[in-house]
Chain A
Amino acid sequence: MDSFLRVQSVSKIFNRGEAGESFGLKDINLQINKGEFIVISGPSGSGKTTLLNLIGGLDSISSGKIIFNGIDISSLNETELSDLRRDKIGFVFQAYNLISLFSARENIEYVMKLRGFSQNECDMRVDEVARKLGIVKLLDKLPANLSGGEQQRVAVARAVASKPELILADEPTANLDSRSALELMDMMERLNREEGITVIFSSHDPMVIDKAKRSIILKDGHSLIDSF
């Protein structure tokens, strides 16, 4: 049986053939199953962001293959990649994830709206995830009126609301104090458990890394340790 996500001998070379040519990733191999809760850690510049971007179809692979749900994502064109991200993947970035003009509720239902959920479905689902993430009272606020931790929770809510198969979160806690960081991780862990969504996140905060069930450590673009 095909596994959920397979990264096969993937390398990423930036500025290939140019003066500033550099390796982002070198020959990475990974196999990830459905429902895992994985952290990618490693020092700065080790390739964490690069790996998440490749898995999310946001950047092109220089060599190797990434097979997601049986599909080689490097074979997809830009529109197909865009649809894949919309339908299958939830994203949480390091900061400023939200649309400043939309309320928290509108931000959360955005991907559902993109996918054509009815207003009724959106309302029900928004209330459900807002409860799980403890942001029910914040739904009508604009992002500018939320703290950093609250904004990241709304971002996580948006990422999970449309029930994607995979959540990719690149240093979701980097801009948070340690208490908010741990709270956010607890919530993500709970969503992973209750909704069965596979989560891959990156971090270099040991306390946050501890929350993961599996840890992949990168260094200079190589995968050093893959521990369960």
Chain B
Amino acid sequence: MFKLILKSSLSSLSIRKGRTALVIVMIAISLWGLMVMQGVYEGMVEQMISNAIRSDSGELSIFKSRFREEKSIELYIHTEKAIEEYLERVENIRSYSKKISIMGVVSSARYSRNIYIHGVNLQQESEHSQLQNYLIDGDFSFGQRERGAILGYNLAKKLKIEVGKKVVVSTQDSYGDITSIKLKVMGILKTNNMTFDDSGIFMSLEKAKKFLSLNGVTQFSINLEDFSRVDELKKDVKSKFQNLELYDWRELYPALIQSREMMVIFNYISYLIVFIIASIGVFGVMLVSIMERLREFAILRAIGTKFSYIFYMIFFESLLMGLSGFIVGSVLGGGTLYYFSIYGLDLTQFSDALSEFGMDAITFATIKVEYFITAFISVFSATLLSLVGPLRFLRKRTPIEVING
């Protein structure tokens, strides 16, 4: 019996080959496009988040209280050594780096600009943030006498300066006196984190301490083994040290969290679109298919076919159509995303615009089982929904009504 039911569904589809194919293609293409957009979008957001975390804050940052609002050098962390010893001991800490970040001015021969000076330990950074991976020109080094600097690529461009040239960096030291230092440009970085690319200068932490007459750092940036236990760590640090503020990346980059939330909304809308397209397409074909066979279904019921069998004939027919669309769309979408997840999607043409938003020119798409599950659910439910009306209509007409005209 099952074979006959399936045969009925299949033959009915094959009779309406053209329209069936059209619906399958409609579902497949919409699914394909939206799935790729979703994967690329999610890839972008995840990359933005990872850039922000890596280049700056880590997953958790420690500052002196009020430093984030006032950015004043007086608000440095006095207990640098003690915190370092503490961080070395805590198990949940994967890596950390300490740094001084302070506003200042940089001048080349012809131009000057407001900047952030970042005193860092390159050794620590290369483990903690893999800052060296962002290097696009020169060396990842401050030179032998630590008198070098690494600049954000946009800053270098604006200063019209290149590797090997000298710049003068000026700021207020911890006594409030103006102080300057001449540094040789050793390397250029492109992090896609705007603050660094547009106005960041990295210099040696030890040099910066001397230059600023500062006996400490302004920030610890930390990555955890298990981020879900971040609150536990925050509490512990606060209980052991006074006058510190701790922020995890979610608090530091609310905009990134927002883009994640936007993405969720975007995904819902995507699948709503797939749902609507599939509903309309399947409904159109099934309505015709059922209307054309009203008399046949009536005869089947008259000779003793249960309505459930007729439901299955119709249901399988629409399901085959919906599923084919889903499968074709998923294969195309999944394949495309897989390609972009390995080779990346090259958006070099838009790279300037993108890096304004902290995005990389090459985006690596994400690909998740969820995409397929959500797609399946929306196609499947669309298929079911589109049958409700026609089936109701069919159910209401008694066989003799139809047979006797």
Contacts and interface: CB of A to CB of B under 8 A. Distances in A.
Interface of A: 49, 53, 56, 58-59, 79, 82-87, 89-91, 93, 96-97, 99-102, 106, 110-111, 113-114, 116, 158-159
B302 A99 contact: no
B238 interface: no
B302 A101 contact: no
8 closest pairs, A vs B, by CB? A86-B304, A101-B11, A85-B304, A113-B1, A58-B400, A91-B303, A99-B296, A82-B304
Given A49-B404, A101-B11, A102-B8, A96 B295 contact: yes
Contact of A111 (B11, B301, B304): B304
B299 A97 contact: yes
B300 A99 contact: yes
B301 A59 contact: no
A55 to B, nearest CB: 12
Contacts of A58: 302, 398-400
B303 A85 contact: yes
Contacts, number: 68
Contacts of A158: 303
Nearest to B306: A82
Contacts of A113: 1, 4
Contact of B304 (A59, A87, A116): A87
Interface in B288-311: 293, 295-296, 299-306, 309
* Among B1, B4, B303, residue most surrounded by chain A Cβ atoms (within 10 Å): B303
B403 interface: yes
A106 B11 CA distance: 13
Given A96-B295, A101-B8, A111 B399 contact: no
Given A86-B303, A110-B300, A114-B309, 7 more contacts: A85-B304, A89-B304, A91-B302, A101-B8, A101-B12, A102-B7, A110-B303
Given A58-B400, A96-B295, A101-B15, A85 B302 contact: yes
A87 B304 CA distance: 8
B296 A111 contact: no
A34 to B, nearest CB: 21
Interface in B271-320: 293, 295-296, 299-306, 309
Interface string B1-36: 100100110011001000000000000000000000
Nearest to B313: A101
Contacts of B404: 49, 53
Contacts of A99: 8, 296, 299-300
A158 B301 CA distance: 14
Interface string B319-352: 0000000000000000000000000000000000
